[in-house]
Structure 1
Amino acid sequence: MKIEVKELTHQYPSGDIALSGINTVFEGIEPIAIIGQNGAGKTTFVKHLNGLLRPTCGEILIDGESIKNHTTAFWSRKIGYVFQNPDNQLFLESVKKEFEFGPKQQGVSKEEINERLKVVADLVGLTEKLSIHPFDLNATEKKFCTIGSILMMNPEMIILDEPTCGQDLEGNRRLTRIITALKENNQLCITITHDMKFVVKNFEQIIVMSKGRILKKATKEVIFSSPEILQASSVSPPPITRVGQALALERSVFSQQDFHQEFENKKQATRIYR
């Protein structure tokens, strides 16, 4: 699937401009993180990708067809969106019914739904909670319930809006497994997050937004080595990356292993030049 965003502008009824002439393309299956401070326009932007919001100006083409040609329900077959607040998405009496609802609306066979249910429930860690009312789940489980309900529809692209909010270490590990599974299943995952440690662990490609515009779309190495981009977006690199930069290591580091290797390289280079 290919999504082309051309001169996308969105103006709220109040007159405030939320997005200002965005141009970009999404295709392939490499996971993408969208970062930037609150108010940058991240959520407003991604809600245009499946028709939850419609452009004030500009256009969005999905495989060459204007998003204006169909309803959000139609595009949800291709692009699934997981809301930041699970309570805005959950509405049925059990986790199982939440999982089954989407594919039933799509006309998926009962046999296929049952097969998907086994895989998805295990992936999101809710196999033992299928009979539970979603509002009896804890906050972390609710988030994974909403993710599971979208995974059940098997869209070509899935958008996760702040999935790490309220997550513990195990929750973040489960999110990593989900993002990996999506790529292995040839599905594109776009994730909005403020957690830079999570970003560098799970995403090679990053979009940086500020004040309704895309400042840069590039690899994590390029993004976190661009002080002007980080300053303009008020984004701070992960702690270990900042330490490496303070020590003037040759390349940006994103893990302890990378740090130790680059630090040793710097020490060896220093000895040689002496």
Structure 2
Amino acid sequence: MIVVEDLHFGYNGKNVLRGIDFKMGREIVALVGPNGSGKTTFAKHLNGLLKPLKGKVVVDGLDTREHTVAELSKKVGYVFQNPEHMFFEENVFREVAFGPRNLGLSEEDVEKRVRWAIKAVGLEGFEERSPYSLSGGEKQRLAIACILAMKPDYLILDEPTTGLDARAEREVVSVIRSLQREGHGILLITHDMDLVVRLAERVVLLHGGEKVFDGSTEEFFTEFDVESYGLEKPEVVKLGERLGLGFTRNLDEIILKLEGRA
């Protein structure tokens, strides 16, 4: 469990986060809000990249103020928005192996972790490829594999589908779903409301450094005024409402509900 209590943080005397409380287990939580709302600043507190000025962040009993980023990264892995910023090795295998090797594991254990992580994201056969030769979706999946190889319990994915075509996005979505089924907690930072409705069980909205919503995805899109915060309901949600079907996440769900009426 990740527990955040009364989190405050700022840069150069300017408040960025104010009084945020938050709890997260092994679930998919979408962290949303306009640019400048504090999403990335908040997320960087969860693995110790930033430390609270006031309040505390505790990850499975570890207070982030008392532990290093290296220690916390074993619990919380962070996949940044631009995956290329994470790459510096000559091939995919070495890229994924970098983290486990830094943990001091034996080469046998490193190879097991690398093979497992590469398989988990569907990049088998890519081991000798240069990371920079991969497509956008493949790079994103490689970035996830690099973090997975550290075997964290929680993953933070910062805009994981930005700039991807439809096929690459489907690939990344499939990986995220499989990770959640395997028991990982996932914090999804995104502006993409379609991605939110497809994946998230819960939504947290930050605005002006404060938490203004924390509840189920259904409640967020059906009972909360998302438009007033510069967000828009996904078309599939609007269609379900127009058809009188209530909250709907995808077209398959709409079809099933319509067939149930027949």
User: Fold conserved (TM > 0.5)?
Assistant: yes
> What one-letter code is carried by the residue in structure 2 that aligns with 1:20?
R
2:254 is aligned, of 245, 254, 259, to 259
> What one-letter code is carried by the residue in structure 1 that aligns with 2:240?
G
* CA distance in structure 2 between the partners assigned to 1:87 and 1:261 by the alignment: 41
Q: What is the CA-CA distance between 1:250 and the residue it aligns to?
A: 5.2
Q: What is the CA-CA distance between 1:36 and the residue it aligns to?
A: 1.7
Residues 133-192 of structure 1 deviation map (CA, whole Å, 9 limit, x = unaligned): 222333332222211100111101111000011222222222222222222322111111
* CA distance in structure 1 between the partners assigned to 2:201 and 2:139 by the alignment: 28
**Alignment partner, residue 272 of structure 1:** none
Identity of aligned residues (%): 34
- State yes or no: 1:44 paired with 2:44: no
Q: Which ranges of structure 2 fall in alignment gaps of 5 or more residues?
A: none
CA contact (8 A) 1:31 1:190 kept: yes
1:237 is aligned, of 233, 236, 249, to 233
* CA distance in structure 1 between the partners assigned to 2:117 and 2:166 by the alignment: 20
Map of 1:206-217 to 2, 5 A cutoff?
206-217=203-214
Residues 96-149 of structure 1 deviation map (CA, whole Å, 9 limit, x = unaligned): 111001111112332232223223223323323222222233333222221110
> What one-letter code is carried by the residue in structure 2 that aligns with 1:4?
V
1:65 is aligned, of 39, 42, 62, to 62
**Alignment partner, residue 15 of structure 2:** 17
Range moving further from structure 2, 140-149 or 45-54: 140-149
Q: What is the CA-CA distance between 1:264 and the residue it aligns to?
A: 7.0
> What one-letter code is carried by the residue in structure 1 that aligns with 2:163?
G
Question: Residue 88 of structure 1: SS of its match in structure 2?
Answer: helix
Q: What is the CA-CA distance between 1:52 and the residue it aligns to?
A: 0.8
Question: Residue 81 of structure 2: SS of its match in structure 1?
Answer: coil
Residues 216-246 of structure 1 deviation map (CA, whole Å, 9 limit, x = unaligned): 1111111101243x1343221111212333x
> What one-letter code is carried by the residue in structure 1 that aligns with 2:237?
T
Map of 1:1-274 to 2, 5 A cutoff?
2-13=1-12, 15-27=13-25, 29-228=26-225, 230-245=226-241, 247=242, 249=244, 251-260=246-255
Please, what is the CA RMSD of the aligned residues? Answer: 2.1
Residues 60-100 of structure 1 deviation map (CA, whole Å, 9 limit, x = unaligned): 12233321111111100111000111232112222111100
* CA distance in structure 2 between the partners assigned to 1:179 and 1:190 by the alignment: 10
* CA distance in structure 2 between the partners assigned to 1:82 and 1:65 by the alignment: 21
